[in-house]
Amino acid sequence: MNMKRLLKHLAPPPWLVRRAFAPSAMRAIESAIAAGELRHLGQIRFAVEETLTLAELWRGKTARERALEVFADLRVWDTEQNNGVLVYLLLADRDVEIVADRGIHRTVGEAAWEEICRAMEAALHAGQFETGVVRGIEAIGALLAAHYPRHAPGTNELPNAPVVL
């Protein structure tokens, strides 16, 4: 087990998520999701989790593995057109993972998602939490608008509000 990672997960200040994502930041993220969904058929969710549990750390759980669990737990996969996208942030590791439903993932591809993740992580490491997440969501929205443009009003199948786990 990586001792440095263990300490980041076991000793974070209790206000870490609130400091990184004040209510105004959460509203900005929700607005970015809503604005993007006016231009594309995708459904975007943003979830932030402060830390993993000791048991998860002991088993060596990665942010990617946790993101896949959250994708299922939040039912991002359960959209009519298989067009859900989860942006998951494990705050203690400053690790961003994007999990896209099979319909979107096949079209967009892994490289595009990775590029957005790395740009978001760079902003997070610079302490630009709101900016990094909003820009990432905007980049995802641009990809979705290019591949799945909205031509008529549609149903918002997933809540736009960020989730703190």
Looking at residue 94, its amino acid is R
Within a domain: residue 13? no
Q: Is residue 14 part of a domain?
A: no
Binned average pLDDT, 10 residues per bin, the chain of 165 residues: 65 69 93 93 92 81 93 88 90 91 82 94 93 96 90 83 93
102 lies in some domain = yes
- Expressed as residue numbers, the domain containing 76 is 3-8+23-149+158-164
Question: Measured in whole angstroms, how far is the alpha carbon of residue 42 from the centre of its chain?
Answer: 14
Cβ neighbour number for residue 1 with a 10 Å cutoff: 9
Q: Coil, strand, or helix at residue 98?
A: strand
Going from the C-alpha of 105 to that of each of 34, 127, 129, 140, 161, the distances in angstroms are 21, 29, 25, 12, 22
pTM assigned to the model: 0.88
Task: Classify residue 116: in a domain, yes or no.
Answer: yes
Per-residue confidence (pLDDT) for residue 9, from 0 to 100:
64
Asked, for residue 30, whether it belongs to a domain, the answer is yes
CATH number, residue 105: 3.10.310.50
Cβ contact 87:133 at 8 Å: yes
60: in domain: yes
SS3 143: helix
17: in domain = no
**Domain total for the chain?**
1
